[in-house]
Structure 1
Amino acid sequence: MTLDLPPAPAAAPDLAARARADGVRFLLALFVDLTGKPCAKLVPVEAARELQDEGVGFAGYAVGAMGQQPSDPDLIAIPDPASYTLLPAVREGLALVHCDPHVEGRPWPFAPRVILKELLRRAADRQLELFAGAEVEYFLVSRGSDGRLVPADAHDNAARPCYDARGLTRMYDHLTGVSSAMNALGWGNYANDHEDANGQFEQNFAYADALTTADRVITARYLISTLAERRGMTATFMPKPFADQTGSGMHLHLSLWREGTPLFPGDQAHGLSTVARRFLAGILAHAPALQAVLAPTVNSYKRTGATSTRSGATWSPRRATYGGNDRTHYVRIPDGNRVELRGGDGSANPYLALAAALAAGLDGIERALDPDTAGHPELPPTLLHAVDALGADQVVTAALDAAGPGVAEYFAGLKREEFFDWHGTVGSWEHDRYLTAF
């Protein structure tokens, strides 16, 4: 009797052999917590085999927002060899590998990469694959003589600096260093530009499957930050470092595929298919709750709540609207191949952002929602409002809880605490407004 057995899974790449062949001396075994903070250990190549077979341990409570107490067992970071990334631009002989934290042999449900992988697995059960592109915007800043934050380029002071060729040229060494590093990794960097605010830049790379793109966003932030520090600057992904300037977004270009075929192009409005329109409608329907994940800081709402900037435009949506090639919408449709979700900012955790957006879109497909009848709710005015919307949204909450219960509640608690910590501070605005007002 002959049994038809499924093909054996492909063997994981040999991390130790690959690292030695590349002349790597140390591996940065890295993961992020729920806030997106990168956490890592440097592992010498001599221990690469142990890293791949056994992982490397962390005190989870010390890591940060990972749902652990001091008494809990260690987080064991298990590397994904497919994410192996050489980083000679940072240090010769250095490579990075993204990891999935485990506790007592099981994937840890509070780990953002684990959450995204679970959502992608559920989509795969429906023969769906999410592809994503991410626009990484950031500021290059330094401290002035009075201690205040200023653009690192003292000559970058034009009222409308967007696309300024001279500003690009003055930052040539930094921008080309990042671009060359991205292209050496095969990311397909295709544009580097001066954005709308003084000191603000964007560096784009090609889209990929959602997990790869999320890994690359984390790697790009690390790469950009370390190369900026080398030149005496600070790269910040803070959404709104300057009150009178445009903020930094992290726009996500999303599309669904099945067996190598894109599902979004169609013959309906804006060149979209029925599947694409329903996916879009799901995002619009869940937009208020999504903002707790896409714009997860107090500072985020200084960006989306802005009414004007020095350049004359905020480039950030205030309502959950959609339209064609129009950058004022929450969801822009540049063409029939994708939709661009513009609610996210530079503080967003890319794993959580993609997981939540995917869940919202799939809900729209499942319920056959229509974007023209989904409503166009106002976006939350503060982080506290966004967290309240999250708590009332079962779909986005379930996305955060995809790998295990309690994550959404824990995340919401962290964000409420962040809001009230900010609310409890007294600053110069209050001194200026109230000190002699009464």
Structure 2
Amino acid sequence: MTTIGSVTARVADPVEGPGRGALAPAVALPPRAERAERAEEAADRLRASAVEVVAVTWVDNAGITRVKAVPLGGLVHAAEWGVGAAPCFDVFLADDSITTSPIIGGPTGDLRLYPDLDRIVPLAAQPGWAWAPGDRHTQAGGPHPGCQRLFARRMEAAAAARGLSLKAGIEVEWVVALDGPPQEAPQYPTYGPAYGMHRLTDLSDYLRDVVRALGEQGLGVLQIHPEYAPGQFEVSVAPEGPVGAADTAVLVRHTIRAVSAKHGLRASFAPVVEPDGVGNGGHLHFSLWRDGRNLGHGGPGPHGLTAEAEGFVAGVLEALPELLVLGCSSPAGYLRLVPQRWAGAYRCWGLENREAALRLVTGSTGERAATANAEVKCFDASANPYLAVGAVLAAGLAGLEQCRSLPPEFTGDPAAAEPGTVPRLPQSPAEAIAAYERSAVLREALGDPLYQAVLAVRRAEAEQYAAVGPEELIAATRWRY
């Protein structure tokens, strides 16, 4: 392993001094006896599905899903006492080298990874296996201040305390290629036209198996279709709460990988797979709700937004430069974030405007009360989805509290506007990091341990690839996501 940086690290004790971003009671562990009883019930259900091993995952600050697995007979113990996981994973980079931060890092310390028993599910494409997302706590039982999933849960609880809820969904785009040495450029199993039926026909068995596996895991597939780039597809699933949407994004990608392997294929969710390619997005859709009502519909604001929804959306739009640190985490993401590729390279908003970083989607007449939402287009799949949804919640709630209003809507292509008319989003990791360091909202929401760990990883990866050309950067990240 390569260690980047030389700061002496320590792990803060969240019980004695939470400081910024104080942890809400909503993230506390249930009583141990209750966890054990529920784990025994879950184990009985999994045993009936011939499950033998349970994979418990978390996503690090570089956007890589990490895992610890336990045999089914060990699930009860894992639910009672957790599974050991070192805090140094919070400062892992995408290539598995390690940096450090002022609070988290170094070889000392340990955490406990607890499976979320409410989300545990047999894996349809991996017989004998089940999956559960994990929350990380200290050995004393307190919430780990660097846990990204607990951060998203805190932000969800902060919205609930205001009587608000968020429905969210993350589009999953990927490129599928023939299996082969990782250093080689992709060779595609189909070269059919963009969005064309040709591609679906070429890979109909594969795509059917993807849909089947997702359905068997309880996920509501809304649509699946070929995308623009060679070998590229997209799947959308039903919206749910923000933490659930992040969990689902992890599960969907894992399922696609497993189905791909069964078909002798490999999948890449990297921001860019080929030089000059459009890349894979990880667009985040969200809608704000109160008392069962979609606040994005029926209001006096632009295109039916209520005042609360407008303030929330305006807060997200204002914070997009710093949100890129959490939603476009890989340096390769900035190769995707260019004009006229529907990547949302400009900090503007517009109704159904696919070139705007924030697209307002009302849906069809007659169903808008259920479907009206906003889409953040500048995010990609290198993001930790828990950080992405949690940060959008934090920015939106700040905008709501500040009673923000949206600036004038932009219609058409912002790249064709007079220079300087529409601001570009950061075009490099350095620009996004600078915006992140100025954000009091994100620092307060994340809390210093997580805020500093994210910053350390972004700085280290920016330095790591600063002198690297696009082709080398793409090759280094193509199969990491």
Tell me the TM-score normalised to structure 2 length.
0.79
Deviations 1:33-55 (A, max 9, x none): 12222222221111121111111
What is the aligned partner in structure 2 of residue 433 from structure 1?
Answer: none
Question: Contact 1:400–1:407 (CA<8 Å) still a contact in 2?
Answer: yes
Matched, 1:411 2:447: no
What is the aligned partner in structure 2 of residue 50 from structure 1?
Answer: 77
What is the aligned partner in structure 1 of residue 357 from structure 2?
Answer: 330
How far apart, CA to CA, are the structure 1 residues paired with 2:238 and 2:376?
Answer: 16
Paired residue type of 1:115: F
Matched, 1:85 2:121: yes
Question: Contact 1:135–1:250 (CA<8 Å) still a contact in 2?
Answer: yes
Percent of residue pairs identical: 30
Matched, 1:217 2:252: no
Q: After the TM superposition, which residues 350-369 of structure 1 pair with which residues of structure 2 at under 5 Å, given as runs? A: 350-369=385-404
Deviations 1:338-360 (A, max 9, x none): 11111101211110000111111
How far apart, CA to CA, are the structure 2 residues paired with 1:236 and 1:77?
Answer: 27
2:212 to 180, 197, 217: 180
What is the aligned partner in structure 2 of residue 60 from structure 1?
Answer: 87
What is the aligned partner in structure 1 of residue 64 from structure 2?
Answer: 37
Matched, 1:257 2:289: yes
How far apart, CA to CA, are the structure 1 residues paired with 2:42 and 2:470?
Answer: 50
Classify the secondary structure of the residue corresponding to 2:124: coil
Bigger relative contact order, structure 1 or 2 (CA pairs below 8 A, ≥6 apart):
2
Q: After the TM superposition, which residues 6-21 of structure 1 pair with which residues of structure 2 at under 5 Å, given as runs? A: 13=38, 14-21=41-48
Question: Contact 2:165–2:290 (CA<8 Å) still a contact in 1?
Answer: yes
What is the aligned partner in structure 2 of residue 190 from structure 1?
Answer: 222
Q: 1:50 to 1:399 in 2, by over 3 A?
A: same
What is the aligned partner in structure 1 of residue 433 from structure 2?
Answer: 387
Paired residues, number: 408
Q: After the TM superposition, which residues 225-374 of structure 1 pair with which residues of structure 2 at under 5 Å, given as runs? A: 225-267=257-299, 268-305=301-338, 307=339, 313-335=340-362, 337-372=372-407
What is the aligned partner in structure 2 of residue 6 from structure 1?
Answer: none
Q: Give the C-alpha shift of residue 228 in structure 1.
A: 1.4
How far apart, CA to CA, are the structure 2 residues paired with 1:59 and 1:226?
Answer: 27
How far apart, CA to CA, are the structure 1 residues paired with 2:323 and 2:89?
Answer: 28
Structure 2 unaligned spans of 5+? 1-29, 93-99, 363-367, 410-420, 473-481
How far apart, CA to CA, are the structure 2 residues paired with 1:361 and 1:287?
Answer: 11
How far apart, CA to CA, are the structure 2 residues paired with 1:258 and 1:252?
Answer: 20
2:170 to 125, 134, 154: 134
Classify the secondary structure of the residue corresponding to 2:234: strand
Deviations 1:114-136 (A, max 9, x none): 11111111111111111101110
- Mean CA deviation greater in 20-29 or 219-228: 20-29
How far apart, CA to CA, are the structure 2 residues paired with 1:292 and 1:280?
Answer: 19
Question: Contact 1:263–1:276 (CA<8 Å) still a contact in 2?
Answer: yes
Tell me the TM-score normalised to structure 1 length.
0.87
Matched, 1:118 2:151: no
- Mean CA deviation greater in 26-35 or 385-394: 26-35
What is the aligned partner in structure 2 of residue 378 from structure 1?
Answer: 424
Paired residue type of 1:360: A
- Mean CA deviation greater in 373-382 or 328-337: 373-382
How far apart, CA to CA, are the structure 2 residues paired with 1:354 and 1:393?
Answer: 17
Classify the secondary structure of the residue corresponding to 2:374: strand
Classify the secondary structure of the residue corresponding to 1:57: strand
Q: 1:420 to 1:147 in 2, by over 3 A?
A: closer
Q: Give the C-alpha shift of residue 235 in structure 1.
A: 0.8
Question: Contact 1:134–1:204 (CA<8 Å) still a contact in 2?
Answer: yes
Question: Contact 2:90–2:105 (CA<8 Å) still a contact in 1?
Answer: no
Classify the secondary structure of the residue corresponding to 1:235: strand
Classify the secondary structure of the residue corresponding to 1:266: coil
What is the aligned partner in structure 2 of residue 167 from structure 1?
Answer: 199
What is the aligned partner in structure 2 of residue 434 from structure 1?
Answer: none
- Mean CA deviation greater in 95-104 or 263-272: 263-272
Q: 1:147 to 1:133 in 2, by over 3 A?
A: closer
Deviations 1:124-162 (A, max 9, x none): 111111110111011112478996412422x41x5xx22
Matched, 1:200 2:236: no
Classify the secondary structure of the residue corresponding to 2:221: coil
What is the aligned partner in structure 2 of residue 76 from structure 1?
Answer: 112
Q: 1:146 to 1:59 in 2, by over 3 A?
A: closer
Q: 1:383 to 1:62 in 2, by over 3 A?
A: closer
Deviations 1:256-285 (A, max 9, x none): 222333222123321221111111110111
- Mean CA deviation greater in 200-209 or 12-21: 12-21
2:54 to 13, 21, 27: 27
Question: Contact 1:284–1:376 (CA<8 Å) still a contact in 2?
Answer: no
Paired residue type of 1:282: G
Q: 1:217 to 1:87 in 2, by over 3 A?
A: same
How far apart, CA to CA, are the structure 2 residues paired with 1:428 and 1:397?
Answer: 34
How far apart, CA to CA, are the structure 2 residues paired with 1:33 and 1:244?
Answer: 28
Question: Contact 1:143–1:149 (CA<8 Å) still a contact in 2?
Answer: no
How far apart, CA to CA, are the structure 1 residues paired with 2:272 and 2:182?
Answer: 20
Classify the secondary structure of the residue corresponding to 2:69: strand
Paired residue type of 2:326: V
Question: Contact 2:91–2:454 (CA<8 Å) still a contact in 1?
Answer: no
Classify the secondary structure of the residue corresponding to 1:149: coil
Q: 1:62 to 1:266 in 2, by over 3 A?
A: closer
Q: Give the C-alpha shift of residue 331 in structure 1.
A: 1.2
Aligned residues: CA RMSD:
2.5
Classify the secondary structure of the residue corresponding to 1:82: coil
How far apart, CA to CA, are the structure 1 residues paired with 2:105 and 2:77?
Answer: 27
Q: Give the C-alpha shift of residue 178 in structure 1.
A: 1.3
Question: Contact 1:293–1:349 (CA<8 Å) still a contact in 2?
Answer: yes
Question: Contact 1:116–1:211 (CA<8 Å) still a contact in 2?
Answer: yes
